[in-house]
């Protein structure tokens, strides 16, 4: 079963979080290593940003926002995973730099980014989008995979919203396999102890 993408504009949050996740490469795979990587990512997601327009500070800011969002999304999964409080705190510290204002020009009041820099605008509108998404309960369905080596963001479109893995066939199956091996090991240990 493959999972649907999050609805727009939340899909952007999902895409940002998934510029890093662990499953594909053993130690994790960082998609945003340089400011030019971030510029390319912005272009791929609809914001025309030149490579040289992104600063190292903005890259660091984007990574802080990404990991803070990952920590926030982990809360939508299960309480077994400790929430990364330090990452949430770092997001809390930088969020005031990402200014938004209330705009009424499109009828409904809307939070709009205020910054000049396209990267900051993009990050600000991503954070602003989580507020209405939380009200319509789509935010709560955007989750981080329970598998510690994966931690990819996925959208839980299941009827009862009980999904915990990004993919049953990959992370779900790996977790079940580990649980099976664990149970067998415990059984064998018990057998040896009683022999």
**Which stretches of the chain bind Zn ion, using CB under 5 A?**
145, 147, 150, 152, 166, 171
Terminal Cα-to-Cα distance of the chain (whole angstroms): 44
> Measured from the CB of residue 81, what is the shortest distance to Zn ion in angstroms?
12
CB-nearer residue toward Zn ion: 118 or 172: 172
- The nearest distance, CB 171 to Zn ion, in angstroms, is 3
Nearest-10 Cα torsion for 98, 102, 107, 108:
80
Please, what is the minimum distance in Å from the beta carbon of residue 147 to Zn ion? 4
Alpha helices in 75-152 (DSSP H): 85-94, 118-135
Which CB sits closer to Zn ion, 3 or 90?
3
* Nearest CB to Zn ion, comparing residues 74 and 145: 145
Counting Cα atoms < 13 Å in the Cβ hemisphere of 61 gives 20
φ, ψ dihedrals at 104, nearest 5°: -115, 5
């Amino acid at each position: 079963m493959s999972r649907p993408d999050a609805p727009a504009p939340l899909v952007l949050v999902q895409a940002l979080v998934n510029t890093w996740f662990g499953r594909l490469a053993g130690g994790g795979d960082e998609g945003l290593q340089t400011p030019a990587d971030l510029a390319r990512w912005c272009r791929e997601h609809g914001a025309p940003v030149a490579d040289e327009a992104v600063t190292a500070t903005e890259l660091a800011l984007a990574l802080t926002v990404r990991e803070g969002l990952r920590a926030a999304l982990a809360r939508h999964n299960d309480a077994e995973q400790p929430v990364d409080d330090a990452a949430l705190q770092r997001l809390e510290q930088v969020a005031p730099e990402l200014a938004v204002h209330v705009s009424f020009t499109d009828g409904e009041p809307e939070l709009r980014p205020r910054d000049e820099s396209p990267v900051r605008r993009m990050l600000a509108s991503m954070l602003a989008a989580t507020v209405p998404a939380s009200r319509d309960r789509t935010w709560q369905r955007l989750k981080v995979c329970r598998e510690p080596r994966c931690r990819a963001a996925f959208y839980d479109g299941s009827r009862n919203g009980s999904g915990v893995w990004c993919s049953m066939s990959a992370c779900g199956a790996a977790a079940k396999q580990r649980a099976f091996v664990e149970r067998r090991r415990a059984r064998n240990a018990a057998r040896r102890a009683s022999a």
